[in-house]
A and B are shown apart, each in its own frame.
Chain A
Amino acid sequence: MDELKLLREMHDDVPGVTDAAVNQGREQLLRRMDPERSGAQKAKKKHRRKALRIAVMSVATLGLAAALVAGNVIGVSRPQGLASADAAEVLNNAAELTIKTADPVVGPGQFLKVDSTNLWLSMMGAHNPPDGVGAHGEMEWLDTEKMSLYIPANRDQEWVWERSGRIPTTFFDEKSKEFALNQAKEMGDTSELLKGVGGAFYNSPSSFPDEKDMAAYSRDPRMLLDGIYKRTAGAGQSADGEALVYIADLLRTGMVPADLRAALYKAAALIPGVSVTDNQATLDGQTGIAIGRVEKASDFRQDIIIDPATGQLIGEREVALTDRGSIPAGTAVGWTTIRTTVVDSAP
């Protein structure tokens, strides 16, 4: 028995399609071929819209998956150039402040608690092909999910993960709002309280970075960045963009020790195209400086937001720079804010 054979047998017991459904589908197809046929439906010509190429975040991950669908494959080449001078200054300052910060000590029996608020993009409809015929057309809205992850002092012990489930919170048109709220009502409460030894939730190996991985990253910014380019080779829309996404993903786990956080900031300062994108960026009520990079291939911008006074990471976000369906240009279509504390017990 191998994993493929097992997979081939999974959900193998679905009932066959009814003849009625087959006939109905056939009838729909015939009507499309000949609009005069029953009902004299006029063939609606949908306007062509630029394909929106965002992968909907997997519900079951903390969001370690990159948000952009892998596009052009780009080999590892050592890029030239640096972040803009002002971005480098903010990042290097934040690194200096961070290195002086003592990480909270998690004593025996205690937990590192990572609270996060996450905004996810939800899309429905046949967005690729862009002129696909969806029963509901294209719809988009944003969901919020709050999570608390309790990591035991001894990371081999049981972790606890509270998840609120995705709750639709931000809408751009009435049609999507109605659909999203109805769907949410239908789904009911999707909150979860998960437990997993060693961070292995959903009966799957842990997807969180472990202490060994953290220790293995170089603390030299150049070497660290080169390592990240190697790890992300071929992913994302561009090598530089993917490197920044990787850094943002790692930082937002809330599990990165201070010396590595400092090195990651300095590494980000070495990425070409990174600049200060917003001096007064507010995310979930907290204000900081946004450092980011525009991905020209997809017209998205990845930002990391830092509190300049403390060097602490407030969060990260992904901003759409052009209209995406009903979502206006300039909207943050995904973000995460984190807060870490040490607590004595987990639920």
Chain B
Amino acid sequence: MTTDSDIIRSSGESPQAFTQLYDKYARMVFRYAARRAGESAAEDVMAETFLVAFERRESFDHAWEDARPWLFGIATNLLRKHHRTEAKMLKVTAKASGRESYTDSTERIAEQLDAAAATSALAGALRKLSAADRECILLYAWAELSYEGIAAATKVPIGTVRSRLNRTRRILKEAAGPLMNNIEEAGHGRAQAIA
């Protein structure tokens, strides 16, 4: 099996091999960037991530077989120039009431409203986080990197990742916690009704 590390190695001799990495991960990088800063920024970030990665391929740490931490680290840096768009997106989410959503059951509507309120609170809290904390939690939740992966992506010790994630999860829980309980209760209620 060809690992990412193998692809990057072979691209030393034949640069075109690097496109395999692009084909494998471009959409993943786009999705992550789009969730943070919208589609238009994401198209740029996707393309630039691989240009930067290609130029820096000699710096890839071959102790890793998986190139995702490296690529998401580059994407994270590139996303910093879109911080205003990100802030604006979070602001919009924080203000959204969820009232535009509709379904066929009142119980479901109530639950959706609660979920929307909790998401709003969450967006508000995300917006207030330091850039480093926000990057950390989003690499975890949206890019699905491991603790080690985040440490490699952001070039900090794993202990720092751990403490950033702990702190950030606590902040997010405090912000959205009371509203999340409502969702949970609604869920229990329905389960009991079915039983």
CB distance B119 to A33 under 8 Å?
A: no
Min distance, Cβ A143 to any Cβ of chain B, angstroms? 10
Counting CB contacts under 8 A, is B187 at the interface? yes
A-B contact count (CB 8 A): 187
Interface size class of B (residues with CB under 8 A): 35 or more
Tell me if B142 counts as interface (CB < 8 A to partner A): yes
| Complex alpha-carbon distance, A69 and B56, angstroms | 23
Task: Determine if A283 is an interface residue (Cβ-Cβ < 8 Å).
Answer: no
B39 at the A/B interface (Cβ < 8 Å)? yes
Q: Does the CB pair A55–B131 fall under 8 Å?
A: yes
Q: Are A26 and B184 in contact (CB under 8 A)?
A: no
Cβ-based interface call for B130 (8 A) = yes
Once the chains bind, are B123 and A10 in contact (CB under 8 Å)? yes
Q: How large is the interface on A (under 10, 10 to 19, 20 to 34, 35 or more residues)?
A: 35 or more
Measured between beta carbons, the chain A residues less than 8 angstroms from B35 are 10-12, 14
Binds A, one of B2-10, B14-22, B60-68, B102-110: B14-22
Min Cβ gap B110→A in Å is: 14
A203 at the B interface (CB under 8 A): yes
The interface residues of chain A, by DSSP majority, are classed as loop
Report yes or no: A205 in contact with B175, Cβ–Cβ below 8 A. Answer: yes
C-alpha gap A30/B187 in the complex (Å):
51
Q: How far is the CA of A15 from the CA of B35 in the complex (A)?
A: 9
Say which residue of B77, B89, B157 sits within 8 Å of A129 (CB atoms): B77
CB distance from A177 to the nearest CB of B (A): 16
Q: Which of A33, A58, A204, A205 contacts B16 (CB 8 A)?
A: A33
Q: How far is the CA of A4 from the CA of B140 in the complex (A)?
A: 9
- Give the docked Cα–Cα distance between A17 and B47 (Å): 12
Q: Is B50 an interface residue (CB 8 A)?
A: yes
C-alpha gap A324/B124 in the complex (Å): 32
Q: A202-B128, A204-B124 are in contact. Are A24 and B47 (CB under 8 A)?
A: yes
Q: Please judge, given known A-B contacts A2-B180, A30-B16, A131-B55, whether A10 and B119 are in contact too, CB under 8 Å.
A: yes
Among B47, B119, B124: residue with most chain A CB under 10 A: B47
Contact between B131 and A33, CB atoms less than 8 A apart: no
The answer to whether the Cβ of A183 comes within 8 Å of any Cβ in the partner chain is yes
Q: Does B81 contact A (CB under 8 A)?
A: yes
25 contacts between A and B (CB under 8 A): A1-B115, A1-B183, A3-B122, A3-B173, A6-B115, A8-B142, A10-B35, A11-B93, A17-B26, A25-B46, A26-B22, A30-B16, A32-B55, A34-B15, A56-B80, A58-B129, A58-B131, A123-B80, A126-B48, A131-B55, A132-B48, A132-B77, A133-B52, A187-B88, A202-B94
Q: A9-B119, A17-B46 are in contact. List 19 more A-B contacts (CB 8 A).
A: A1-B118, A3-B172, A6-B180, A10-B93, A14-B42, A15-B34, A17-B30, A17-B31, A26-B26, A30-B19, A33-B15, A34-B15, A55-B130, A124-B81, A134-B78, A202-B124, A203-B124, A203-B175, A205-B174
A interface vs B, CB < 8 Å?
Answer: 1-4, 6-12, 14-17, 21-22, 24-26, 28-30, 32-34, 55-56, 58-61, 65, 69-70, 73, 123-129, 131-136, 183, 187, 202-205, 207, 234
